[in-house]
Structure 1
Amino acid sequence: MSLIALAPGIFYFPGAVNSFVVVGRETDALLVDTGLDDSHARKLLRAVAEAGLVPSGILNTHSHADHHGGNAFILKRFPELKIFAPPLEDAVITHPILEPLTLFGARPPRELQGKFLLAPPSPARLAPEPGLCRMGGADLELIEVAGHASLMYAVRVGEVLYAADALFGPDALSKHPLTFCADSGLQKASAAKLAELEGVRTVLPGHGDPTDDLAGLVAVNLAAYERTTAAVLAAVDAGAASIDELLARVCDSLDVTMTNAGAVVLNRAVVSAHLTELLETDRVHMKVTGNKLIFGTQA
Structure 2
Amino acid sequence: MPSSLQPLGPGVFFLPGAVNSVAIAGPGGNALLVDTGLDESHARRLLRALAGAGLTPSAILNTHSHADHHGGNAFLLSRFPELPVYAPPLEAAVIRHPLLEPLSLWGAAPPAELRTKFLLAPPSPAQGVGPGKQTLGGTEVELLPVPGHAAEMYALRVGEVLYAADALFGPEALEKHPLTFCADSAQQKASAGALGELKGVRVVLPGHGDPTPDLAGLVAANLAAYARTTDAVAAALAQGPAAIDELLVRVGEALGAVATTPSGWALNRAVLSAHLTELLERGEAALEVGREGLRGRQA
1:238 and 2:239 aligned: yes
**Helix, strand or coil for the counterpart of 2:278?**
helix
**d(CA) in 2 for partners of 1:216 and 1:142?**
22
Q: Which residue of 2 aligns with 1:46?
A: 48
Give 1:67-106 correspondences, 5 Å limit: 67-106=69-108
**d(CA) in 2 for partners of 1:262 and 1:191?**
26
Q: Which residue of 1 aligns with 2:38?
A: 36
Q: Which residue of 1 aligns with 2:269?
A: 268
Give 1:1-299 correspondences, 5 Å limit: 1-127=3-129, 129-290=130-291, 292-298=293-299
How far apart are 1:150 and its partner, in Å? 0.2
* TM-score with structure 2 setting the length: 0.98
**d(CA) in 1 for partners of 2:176 and 2:168?**
14
**d(CA) in 2 for partners of 1:105 and 1:295?**
19
**Helix, strand or coil for the counterpart of 1:149?**
coil
**d(CA) in 1 for partners of 2:281 and 2:295?**
16
**d(CA) in 1 for partners of 2:131 and 2:87?**
11
**d(CA) in 1 for partners of 2:214 and 2:197?**
13
How far apart are 1:133 and its partner, in Å? 1.2
**d(CA) in 1 for partners of 2:292 and 2:14?**
50
Task: Work out whether residues 88 and 153 of structure 2, in 8 Å CA contact, stay in contact via their aligned partners in 1.
Answer: yes
How far apart are 1:290 and its partner, in Å? 2.7
Superposition RMSD on alpha carbons, in Å? 0.7
How far apart are 1:291 and its partner, in Å? 6.5
**d(CA) in 1 for partners of 2:181 and 2:89?**
19
Residue identity matched to 1:172: A
How far apart are 1:293 and its partner, in Å? 1.2
How far apart are 1:287 and its partner, in Å? 1.5
**d(CA) in 1 for partners of 2:243 and 2:63?**
33
* TM-score with structure 1 setting the length: 0.98
The runs of 5 or more residues in structure 2 that have no matched partner are none
Superposed CA deviations along residues 244-288 of structure 1, whole A, max 9, x for unmatched, are 110001111111231110000000000000000000001111112
How far apart are 1:56 and its partner, in Å? 0.2
Task: Work out whether residues 166 and 207 of structure 2, in 8 Å CA contact, stay in contact via their aligned partners in 1.
Answer: yes
**d(CA) in 2 for partners of 1:286 and 1:198?**
42
- Count of matched residue pairs: 297
The runs of 5 or more residues in structure 1 that have no matched partner are none
What stretches of structure 1 move > 2 A for 4+ residues in a row?
A: none
**d(CA) in 1 for partners of 2:115 and 2:87?**
22
How far apart are 1:289 and its partner, in Å? 2.2
Residue identity matched to 1:103: L
Residue identity matched to 2:71: G
**Helix, strand or coil for the counterpart of 2:150?**
coil
Task: Work out whether residues 249 and 258 of structure 2, in 8 Å CA contact, stay in contact via their aligned partners in 1.
Answer: no
**d(CA) in 2 for partners of 1:143 and 1:105?**
30
Report the CA distance shift for 1:253/1:291 in structure 2 as closer, same or farther (over 3 A).
Answer: closer
Task: Work out whether residues 243 and 292 of structure 2, in 8 Å CA contact, stay in contact via their aligned partners in 1.
Answer: no
What fraction of aligned residue pairs are identical, expressed as a percent?
66
